[in-house]
Structure 1
Amino acid sequence: MNRRRVVAGLASVAALLLAGWAAWPAAEGAAGSTPALPATGAPAKLATAAPAAWPFRVSAAAAPAAERAAPDSPLLPMTAYSPAAISMAETREQGESRTPPIERAPAAELPDAWALASPDHYAQFEARQSARLYADYQQAADSELPKLRAALEAGRASGVSAEQLAMGEEKLRRLQAARDQAAALLAQQRPAK
C-alpha cells in the first residue's frame, strides 16, 4: 500500500516535470526568441530577436519603470536592460576599464639560514631592512615635496582660500619633518666611514 503511494507520487512529479518541459519552448516563443526573416527578405540568414535564454536581455521599454532613468534624472538613460549578473560576468572575463593597473611590490628579502642561526646576524639583517625602508621613504618624500610646493604656489596664484592654503602648508611641514626624521634614522643606521 505504501509502495503504491510512493510510485503514484513519483509518477505525478514526473508528469509535472514533463508538462513543464513541454511548455518551455512555447513560453520562449511568446517572449520573442523565435527567428524572424530579415527585412530584406533574404532567406540565407535568419535574424533573431533578443535571446530569451540566458543571458536575459530586454529592451529598455520593457525594463521596470523604477530602473529606467527619469527625464530629470542626472543618470544617463538606459538603452538596454541587463541583469547585474551579466555585467559581473563581462567584468570578470574582460576586466574593468576604470581600474588602475596593479603594481606589484618587489619580493621582500628573506633572511638566510646564517641570519636565522645567529642573533647578531639577524640584527644586521633587520638593520638592512630598516635602512632600505628609511631610504625608500626619503626618496618618495623627495619626489613629492616639489610637487606639493608647486601646488601651493599655484593655489596662492589662483586665489585659494587662506584656510586651504594653511592645510596645504601644514601637510608640507609634516611631510618635510617625516622626511628629515627618516634621513636622521638612516644616518644612524649607516656606519660612519
Structure 2
Amino acid sequence: MKAPYAIAVLAAASLATWMLWPESERAASVAASAVSQTLAAQQPAGGSEAQGNQWFSAVPQGEKKELKRVPLAPVDSSGSAWLSMAQAREHGDARTPPIVRDAEAQTVPDANQLADHKAYQKFEGSQHARLLASYASAAEAELPRLRADVERARAAGIPEQEIAKVAEKIRLIEQTRKEILKGNQQVRAGAGRQ
C-alpha cells in the first residue's frame, strides 16, 4: 500500500521539476539576451577583441587592494567530536561546577511507621514542620541581604518600579515567615534550633 503512494509522490515531483525546468531556462536565456543586447549597444565597433575587453573595462583600474590573511583561532582537532562527547558523558565536563549534596541525610520512615497509619501521619507532620522551619530560618538569614540589595539599587538609580517589585517580594517573604512562626509551635522550636 505504501509503494503506490511513494511512486505517486515521486512522479508528481518529477513532473513539477520537468514543468518548472523550461521556465527557469527560458528566464535565464531572456536575462542573458538582455545583458548581451545591452553590452552590444555599449560595444565599440572593434570586433571580438573589443568584446573581450569590455569585461576588463568594467573592473576599476585604480589601486589594487591586496587581500589580507586573517589567522583562524586554533582548534583542537586531536580527537573526534563523538569521542569528546562520550568522555564528557562518562567523566563529566571540567568546566561545570561540582554537585553539592545535602549534608543532612534525609530521614525515612521505619517499618513501624509505615505499618501504622497514625504513626505515619505523625512522621509526615514532623517532616512538614522541618520544612517550614527551614524556610523560616532561610528567610531570616536572607531578608537582610535582600534589604541591602534594595538600598544599593536605590543608590545606583534603578527605576522605582523595579525596586517596588523586589520590595513587594521582601514583604511577602516576611509575611509568610511570620505566618509560619505564628501558626506552628513545632516550627518555632525548629527555627530556634537551626
Give the TM-score normalised by the residue count of structure 1.
0.51
Question: Where do residues 70-85 of structure 1 align in structure 2 (5 Å cutoff)?
Answer: 78-80=73-75, 82=77, 83-85=80-82
1:185 is displaced (CA, Å) by 3.9
Question: Which position in structure 1 is the counterpart of 2:133?
Answer: 135
Q: Is the 8 A contact 1:141 1:176 kept in 2?
A: yes
Spell out, residue by residue over 1:74-114, the C-alpha distance to the aligned partner (whole angstroms, 9 max, x if none): xxx53115453243244346532332221223432111122
Spell out, residue by residue over 1:126-163, the C-alpha distance to the aligned partner (whole angstroms, 9 max, x if none): 12111111111111111111110110011111111111
Q: Is the 8 A contact 1:115 1:125 kept in 2?
A: yes
1:104 aligned onto 2:104:
no
Mean Cα deviation higher: 138-147 or 113-122: 113-122
- Letter paired with 1:85: W
- CA distance in 2: counterparts of 1:190 and 1:114, whole angstroms: 28
**Judging changes above 3 Å, is the alpha-carbon distance between structure 1 residues 109 and 94 closer, same or farther for their aligned structure 2 residues?**
closer
What are the ranges of 5 or more consecutive residues in structure 2 without an aligned counterpart?
A: 1-69, 190-194
Q: Is the 8 A contact 1:135 1:186 kept in 2?
A: no
Question: Which position in structure 2 is the counterpart of 1:51?
Answer: none
Greater helix share, structure number: 2
- CA distance in 1: counterparts of 2:188 and 2:167, whole angstroms: 31
1:158 aligned onto 2:153:
no
**Judging changes above 3 Å, is the alpha-carbon distance between structure 1 residues 79 and 86 closer, same or farther for their aligned structure 2 residues?**
farther
- Letter paired with 1:80: V
Question: Which position in structure 1 is the counterpart of 2:182?
Answer: 184
- Letter paired with 2:139: A
Identity in percent: 41
1:182 is displaced (CA, Å) by 2.6
- Letter paired with 2:73: M
- Letter paired with 1:101: P
Q: Is the 8 A contact 1:138 1:183 kept in 2?
A: yes
- CA distance in 1: counterparts of 2:188 and 2:172, whole angstroms: 24
Question: Which position in structure 1 is the counterpart of 2:32?
Answer: none
RMSD over aligned Cα atoms: 2.6
Spell out, residue by residue over 1:19-54, the C-alpha distance to the aligned partner (whole angstroms, 9 max, x if none): xxxxxxxxxxxxxxxxxxxxxxxxxxxxxxxxxxxx
The size of the alignment, in residue pairs, is: 116
- CA distance in 2: counterparts of 1:138 and 1:189, whole angstroms: 8
Tell me which of 109, 117, 121 is aligned to 1:119: 117
What are the ranges of 5 or more consecutive residues in structure 1 without an aligned counterpart?
A: 1-70, 72-76
Larger RCO, structures 1/2 (Cα 8 Å, 6+ apart): 2
Q: Is the 8 A contact 1:134 1:186 kept in 2?
A: no
